[in-house]
Amino acid sequence: MRKQRQLKLPILEIFGPTFQGEGRAIGQKTMFIRTGGCDYHCDWCDSAFTWDDSEKATPMTSDQVIAELDKLGTYDYVTLSGGNPCLQAANMAELVNKLKERGVTLAVETQGSRWQDWLLDIDQVTLSPKPPSSKMEVNMEALDFIVSKLDPAKVTYKIPIFNDADLAFAKEIQARYKPDVLYLSVGNPEPTAEGDIVRHQLDRLHALWDKVALDDSWGNVRVLPQLHTLVYDNQRGV
């Protein structure tokens, strides 16, 4: 009798408890599970180690992942991040099922390029299609399909903003999907910089606030900082 193959996930980081730094769940206490691999290579990516081969992911079963979470303390909210966690199929579905059985609220962050059935079991799906500054091209048909499958009440749209072209792209997303709120996040163009980046980030936030506030063509929009950069600069695992 053949032994059943164990499903494993490519895990780069499991950390927390910490707080979500962006989007609708900003300030939410959470654990993070970061998977390796991404189908995008954004020009300003703050997690390039997930796809540039600078770090090796550790293959882990869902039970091993949960055991690592348990070592970090108690939790009732977990964020699946990457890279793009939606590159993972049955292996992620198994983890999602086991965490849901424990009553854990699950969130995921993805650019909206890949559909997985387990997304239907996620409580808060953040879709972050990448703007022109990323130098990536969004597959709008794929994004349309994903949006059509999800409960709108569970979806957040979040766009990082680095320049005027990104703002124009964000307006297109707002017009196309008509979310209850569109979240704009101040971009961090220096994700590998060491030391204090707070002043630079606050200056960028100030400029973006001024620009959006004076533009009457926006619908319901919230312009937020990357809160973690104001608290931890570019530190990882916090």
| Rg of the chain on CA atoms, in Å | 18
Confidence of residue 237 (pLDDT cuts 50, 70, 90): low
Specify the length of the chain in residues. 238
Could you tell me which of 128, 114, 111 has the C-alpha nearest to residue 183?
128
In a domain, 201, yes or no: no
In a domain, 196, yes or no: no
* Mean pLDDT of the 206-227 span: 92
The total of structural domains in the chain comes to 1
Q: The whole model's pTM is what?
A: 0.91
pLDDT digits (tens, 9 = 90+) for 82-141: 999 999 999 999 999 999 999 999 999 999 999 999 999 999 999 999 999 999 999 999
What pLDDT, on a 0 to 100 scale, did the predictor assign at position 2? 58
In a domain, 121, yes or no: yes
> What CATH number should be reported for the domain holding residue 173?
3.20.20.70
At 34, list the tokens.
């970061």
Q: How far apart are the first and last CA of the chain?
A: 45
Q: How many CA atoms lie within 13 A of 83 on its CB side?
A: 27
Task: For residue 47, give its domain range.
Answer: 9-158+165-179
